[in-house]
Structure 1
Amino acid sequence: MNILYKLYNVNNLSYKFDNSVIKGDNLDETYELNMKGTAFNINKQNNIAIIKLNILVNSLLNESDDVFRTLSFDYNHVYKINDYESMSDDEIRDFVIKHGLENAMSSVKDVIKRITDIDYQGRMLVDIPEFPLNVTFDS
């Protein structure tokens, strides 16, 4: 079996600021990246597999608990799948997760940079988790 990146899309995008937490000129931001939910779908009729991630990023100012920026979105990373006819859904899921999740997370990191490039603050540069991950997906 092989997979080929096809596309990604972002839904339910929310990006908010709370300027009231700014105190002084020092804006030392730290970022918290959370995956609120994960799912995996296979559509054999269209030869695609989809990794779905619900992303939440908070930025905290000056080592406090004050949330400065919040970014959340639903992210779908779509792969074209080939040569899967003899494989079960579980085998396809395991293959796509093993060979595609790191690529999807790297793309999420890039999406976060692009979204936060449009405002007057610095871009959010989040770290992706180390791989391999031990993740459970909802079917």
Structure 2
Amino acid sequence: MNISYKVFNINNLEYKFNPEIPSQETFSETYHFNLNSTTVKVNRPNGVTFIELKIEVKTELGGKQEEFRSLSFDFNYIYKMGDFEKLSDDEIQDFVIKYGFENAISAVKDVIKHITSIDYQPTINIDIPSFPMQKPERMTNTQSD
């Protein structure tokens, strides 16, 4: 089986900054990046699978405890799949997490950079953890006796 990038989309985008906090030409902005949830779904009729990530970024200026900027969105990274007919949904989801998750996270970094370049503030450049990353594990139902 193989996957290849097809398209991404963004939903529920919210970006704002606090104009009450004075910004200077040079300032230190600290960010907090949160990946709130990860979902992998298989769409057999269309021959695709996608990773949905719920992203949240908040920043503060110069160590102040006040929030300066915030950005949140749902990010869908869609892959075209080959030979998926032979595999179960669980096998496909495991494969996409193993081989597609890092691509999706790297794309999130670029999206954040592009979205935050639309105002007069510096862009937010988040650091992506080194690869290979510790990937999220699928939740399974387990019963204990």
- Hey, what's the Cα distance between the residues in 2 that align with 1:44 and 1:104? 20
Secondary structure of 2:106's partner? helix
Aligned-pair CA distance for 1:129? 2.9
Counterpart position of 1:62: 62
1:1-139 matches, within 5 Å, as 1-22=1-22, 27-130=27-130, 131-137=132-138
Contact 1:38–1:137 (CA<8 Å) still a contact in 2?
no
For structure 1, list consecutive stretches of 5 or more residues without a partner in the other structure: none
Secondary structure of 2:123's partner? coil
Contact 2:8–2:75 (CA<8 Å) still a contact in 1?
yes
Query: TM-score by structure 2 length?
Result: 0.88
Runs of 4+ in 1 over 4 A off after TM superposition: 23-26
Aligned-pair CA distance for 1:24? 6.3
Contact 1:31–1:58 (CA<8 Å) still a contact in 2?
yes
For structure 2, list consecutive stretches of 5 or more residues without a partner in the other structure: 141-145
Residue 137 to residue 73, structure 1, CA distance change in 2 (3 Å): farther
Aligned-pair CA distance for 1:23? 6.8
Residue 10 to residue 118, structure 1, CA distance change in 2 (3 Å): same
Residue 25 to residue 113, structure 1, CA distance change in 2 (3 Å): closer
Aligned residues: 139
Contact 1:38–1:54 (CA<8 Å) still a contact in 2?
yes
**Identity across matched positions, percent:** 47
Secondary structure of 2:74's partner? strand
Bigger relative contact order, structure 1 or 2 (CA pairs below 8 A, ≥6 apart): 1
Cα RMSD (Å) of the superposition?
1.8
